[in-house]
Amino acid sequence: MTTPSHRLSARPLAIYPAAMLLVFFLIPFGIMVVVSFFHRVEGAFFEPAFEFANYARFLSPFFGKILATSIGLSAAAAVIGVVVAFPFTYFLTTMPRRQQTVILVFLLSVLSLSEVIIGFAWSTLLSRTAGVSNLLVWIGILDGPQAYTPSLTALLLGLCYLGFPYAVLVIYPALSRLDPELPEAARMSGASPVAAFFNVIIPVMRNTIVGTLILVFVFTLGAYLLPQVLGRPQHWTLSVHITDQAIFQSNLPFSAAMAVFLLLVSLALVGITMLLSQPKGQRS
């Protein structure tokens, strides 16, 4: 039983994270919501008001195209990343513990790379002068070097590379706790390793897979530099257009409205992920 003295001593510890949440999230978010209702004045930036014109632009073809591009790119990157990461993580859990540690440390080191480094590294790798096409020319597959960036394929590769380590690190704990007798029982029943993988392991890990898809989707949805470095203007995501509207178009109210929309979508998806991660008996 928790004594009154313990409850009193725990209160200061609870105040600190609550204060950090208030200062670094709730107050900035509140300011952003207020600005999203302001009125834009041509040549004067904006003025205080309370109008829904900025949110009404969500129904315009301009915003619809941006939203479709952002959702399509993030969804494709999430699906490709998880499809590659799941079997990779499964075979990782079958390795000796020392090898698992080495690979996990390598993945953690990849996470330390900023989006700037990743973007320009892929831009160089897919360039005409110093890219992978020069190796293909040397092998004899191509007649001459080619540039593969900027393009939609290059952008998808960059987003998949960005989300792949996160997918592995989310899937790894669940797969490492998987009962090894399940695939063994499937194989003893006559199922091949491939059939056991698709008919036993994947159904058992369904919630983890869905949660990983959502988390990678949310993470890549906020990509800002990769669409500019690896893609073309028609591939720019919502995050890029938020900055463009705020800085270059001097339309801070509309950019604030788009930022509120992006944040609410991300919070909703994270909430769905947390709900899926709970045991069935604890879901309300």
The predicted-structure confidence for 192-222, as pLDDT tens digits, reads as follows 777 777 888 888 888 889 889 988 998 888 8
Span 110-147, pLDDT tens digits:
888 888 888 888 998 888 887 788 888 888 887 888 88
Mean pLDDT of all residues in 49-66 = 88
The domain spanning residue 138 has which CATH number?
1.10.3720.10
How many angstroms separate the Cα of 191 from the Cα of each of 86, 187, 200, 231? 20, 5, 10, 44
Q: Is residue 249 part of a domain?
A: yes
**Do the beta carbons of residue 201 and residue 183 sit within 8 Å?**
yes
Instruction: Encode the chain in three state secondary structure.
Output: CCCHHHHHHHHHHHHHHHHHHHHHHHHHHHHHHHHHCCEEECCCEEECCCCCHHHHHHHCHHHHHHHHHHHHHHHHHHHHHHHHHHHHHHHHHCCCHHHHHHHHHHHHHHHCCCHHHHHHHHHHHCCCCCCHHHHHHHHCCCCCCCCCCCCHHHHHHHHHHHHHHHHHHHHHHHHHCCCCHHHHHHHHCCCCHHHHHHHHHHHHCHHHHHHHHHHHHHHHHCCCHHHHHHCCHHHCCHHHHHHHHHHHCCCHHHHHHHHHHHHHHHHHHHHHHHHHHCCHHHCC
pLDDT for res 187: 73
**Measured distance CA(10)–CA(7) in Å, rounded:** 5
Sign of CA dihedral 264, 267, 273, 279: negative
Question: pLDDT: is 11 or 176 the higher one?
Answer: 176
Q: Is residue 3 part of a domain?
A: no
User: Above 80 in pLDDT, residue 275?
Assistant: no
Dist CA 270 CA 284 (whole Å): 17
Nearest to 70 by CA among 216, 269, 240: 240
Is the per-residue pLDDT at 3 higher than 90?
A: no
pTM over 0.95: no
pLDDT(271) > 70: yes
Q: Tell me, yes or no, whether 46 lies in a domain.
A: no
**Does residue 213 fall inside a structural domain?**
yes
* Total number of domains constituting the chain: 1
In a domain, 207, yes or no: yes
In a domain, residue 26? The reply is: no
pLDDT score at 9: 54
Q: Is residue 17 part of a domain?
A: no
Average pLDDT score over residue span 77-82: 94
Average pLDDT over residues 32-53: 85
Q: Do the domain assignments include residue 90? A: yes
Residue 197: predicted pLDDT: 79
Range of the domain at 220: 63-282
Q: What is the mean pLDDT of residues 231-258?
A: 88
**CB neighbours (10 Å) of residue 152?**
16
Asked whether the predicted pLDDT for residue 283 surpasses 60, the reply is no
pLDDT bin (cut points 50, 70, 90) of residue 20 is confident
The answer to whether 147 and 126 have CB atoms below 8 angstroms apart is yes
Q: Residue 4 above 60 pLDDT?
A: no
Query: Which pLDDT does position 86 carry in this prediction?
Result: 93
| 89-105 per-position pLDDT tens digit | 989 988 888 999 999 99
Q: Residue 59's pLDDT is what? A: 87
Given a cut of 70, whether residue 270 has pLDDT beyond it is yes
